[in-house]
Structure 1
Amino acid sequence: MSGEPIPAPPGPWCPDPMRQQRADYTVEDLLNLPDDAPRVELVDGIIQVTPSPTLGHQDISFLVRLWLHSHAPSDLRVTQAVCVGFGFNTSRQPDVLLYRAEVPSDRSMLRPADVVLAVEIVSPGTRRIDRFAKPGEYAAAGIPFYWRIEQDPVHVYAYRVGDRVGPGGERQYELVADGADVIELTEPFEIKLPIAEITP
């Protein structure tokens, strides 16, 4: 019998601690993550593992995608949880995205100019990010429309980039509509969304 230790199988993927300290991850690194990597976002060169969504979150996300797919004009497409790159060292994964139809289908990362609407469904673990950080980043990058959807009860807040400018000179979102019964908008297309249709 050999006294050699049995090698332990490798554990799940996690970010390299040294690279995290140096904050030198890039969006290119995200495109080369292994298949077993968790869902991540990249903020200023630091990989952030995003919390696993709840079933309720996923149900709302699916219903929003289905509704947009059924109602959006043909020059727009809808998808879920695809990365949007903001420069070389930051990317986010909105829960639902409405993007321009001419974007090639083999792309695994979108540019802000490709995106018309970013949707975030707020969960307990992502409240501050979805309410403050992400809309600031999306507006500054030029994504024209943002929806924040609160749960329990489902309530939609619809924003568009306005004329207001932040302290750093970046454009900011302004609230154009909100509701727990129905949302009516003229942009990015004529929308009359009964909230019951996206409520699980």
Structure 2
Amino acid sequence: MTPSPTLGHQDISSLVWLWLRAHAPAHLRAAQAVGVGLSHNTSRQPDVLLCRAGLPSDRSRLRPADVVLAVAFVTPGTRRVDRFAKPGEYAAAGIPFYWRIEQDPVHVYAYRLGDRIGPGGERQYELVADSAELIELTEPFEVKLPVSDIVP
């Protein structure tokens, strides 16, 4: 069983959601803690995600095809899952982008789905940027994220 998020975890989660909400283009929608069905027997609930705008507001479970970016905030109780299990599952489901955000100090790792094939035949993520200061990306949209903007 996963422990409840800490206050610090929730603070940074809210700041990332607010930043994405303010900066993502209109065709993308930022959301928090919405379930994503990854396979017939696996679902996850990213801390923050970007999905396609226009989805009905009453949806509590999304399809991987609806999700553009999944974001996980690493805490002591979730290190192994956030660093290994989640990225593997999200990549296997075809979610194009994954951000892992470490805390103490805050450090952002941005991944995109690559062409490398894992041992199970699924595509894997490749690291495209990491920083404790500034994340600059061209995908899933033009991102210039000062990490200080998401530090509580």
Q: CA deviation at 1:135?
A: 0.2
Q: How does 1:101-180 map to 2 (within 5 A)?
A: 101-180=53-132
Tell me the amino acid that sits aligned with residue 7 of structure 2: L
Could you tell me which runs of 5 or more consecutive residues in structure 2 were left unpaired when the two chains were aligned. Answer: none
RCO higher in structure (CA 8 A, sep ≥6)? 2
Please tell me the residue identity of whatever aligns with 2:99: W
- The alignment covers a number of residue pairs equal to 152
Question: Quick check: 1:63 aligned with 2:4?
Answer: no
Task: Give the secondary structure class of the aligned counterpart of 1:184.
Answer: strand
How far has the Cα of 1:50 moved from its partner?
A: 2.2
Task: Give the C-alpha shift of residue 105 in structure 1.
Answer: 1.2
The superposition leaves residues 40-95 of structure 1 with CA deviations (integer Å, 9 ceiling, x where unpaired) of xxxxxxxxx32111111111000000000000000000111110002221100000
Q: Which amino acid aligns with 1:194?
A: P
Out of 171, 174, 181, the position equivalent to 2:133 is 181
TM-score normalized by structure 1? 0.75
Paired letter, 1:97 = L
Rg: which structure is higher? 1
Q: CA RMSD in A?
A: 0.6
Equivalent position of 1:93 in the other structure: 45
Structure 1 portions without partners, runs of 5+:
1-48
Indicate the SS of the match to 2:126: strand
Aligned counterparts of 1:137 and 1:153: Cα–Cα separation in 2: 26
Which contiguous aligned blocks of 4+ residues in structure 1 show a shift greater than 3 angstroms? none
Q: Which residue of 2 aligns with 1:192?
A: 144
- Report the CA distance between 1:106 and its aligned residue: 1.3
Higher strand share: 2
SS in 2 for 1:124: coil
- Provide the secondary structure at the position in 2 that maps to 1:91: strand
TM-score for both structures, normalised by structure 2: 0.98
Q: 1:102 Cα shift?
A: 2.3
Question: What is the alpha-carbon distance in structure 2 between the residues aligned to residue 65 and residue 91 of structure 1?
Answer: 21
Question: 1:86 is paired with a residue of what secondary structure?
Answer: strand
Q: Letter of the aligned partner of 1:190 in structure 2?
A: E
Identity %: 80
